[in-house]
Amino acid sequence: MPEKTLRRLLVRRAPTGKSQAILQAGPLRLRAAIGRSETTSRKREGDGATPIATMKLVSGYLRGDRVRETKTALPMQRALTTMLWCDAPDHASYNRPVKAPFRPSHERLMRDDELYDLCIVLDWNLSCRKRGCGSAIFFHIARPGYQPTEGCVALHPRDMRRLLPYLTARTRLQVL
C-alpha cells in the first residue's frame, strides 16, 4: 500500500451473497463478512444488520495469548476474561465495556473462538447513544467461510493483520 495511513475503508455488499461484502482499502479489495440481515439505515438491537454509516475506529482489543503485539496507531489493549460489552438496552452501561461479573446481557471480549482475537471498536451508537439502536458493532475476524456476523464487519485474520499498521483514529469505516 503506497499510503502510510488509510483514511477510509469502504464496505460494499458483494453480489455473491447477502452477508458477503467487499472491503476496499486504498487499492486493495478484500473479502469481508457483514450482518446476517445485510445492511440497514435503521439499525436496531439484535436485528443482525450492519449499519449503513461512516464510523470512526475508536480503539481495539487483542487476544494476547493468541496474537502477538500488532503494529498500529490505534489504542489497543489485551483482552482479559473479565472484559465484557453490555448489549442490554435498558441498562445504564448499554453499548459500553463492563467488567465481570455482570448479570445483564453482554458479549465476552475474550471469546473461545477467534472472532475477537483482533477486534476494533467502531463508533456506532457509542459517542451519542440511543437505547435499542445497536451495540457492539466491531471490525473483527471473520468466521470460516465468511459466515454472517451479528451486524459487524469481519475480515480474514491475514487481511486484518495486513491493514492494522495503516489504521489510525482518523480512519473511517464506511458501509454503503
Q: What is the pLDDT of residues 59-77, one digit of tens each?
A: 999 999 999 878 999 999 9
Q: What is the pLDDT of residue 4?
A: 87
Model pTM score: 0.96
For cell 454503503, the residue is 176
Amino acid at 168: T
Are 121 and 59 a contacting pair, CB within 8 Å?
Answer: yes
- 24 and 12 in contact (C-beta within 8 Å)? yes
Q: How far apart are CA 136 and CA 163, in angstroms?
A: 21
Model confidence band, residue 3 (pLDDT cutoffs 50, 70, 90): low
Residue 164 has pLDDT above 50, yes or no: yes
Flag whether pLDDT at 144 surpasses 70.
yes
DSSP code string of 119-132: EEEE-SSSSS--TT
Q: What is the pLDDT of residues 97-142, one digit of tens each?
A: 999 999 999 999 999 999 999 999 999 999 999 999 999 999 999 9
**Which alpha helices (DSSP H) does 18-170 contain, by range?**
157-163
Largest CA distance in the chain: 47
The reported pLDDT for the residue numbered 1 is: 47
Alpha-carbon distance of 159 to 136, in angstroms, equals 21
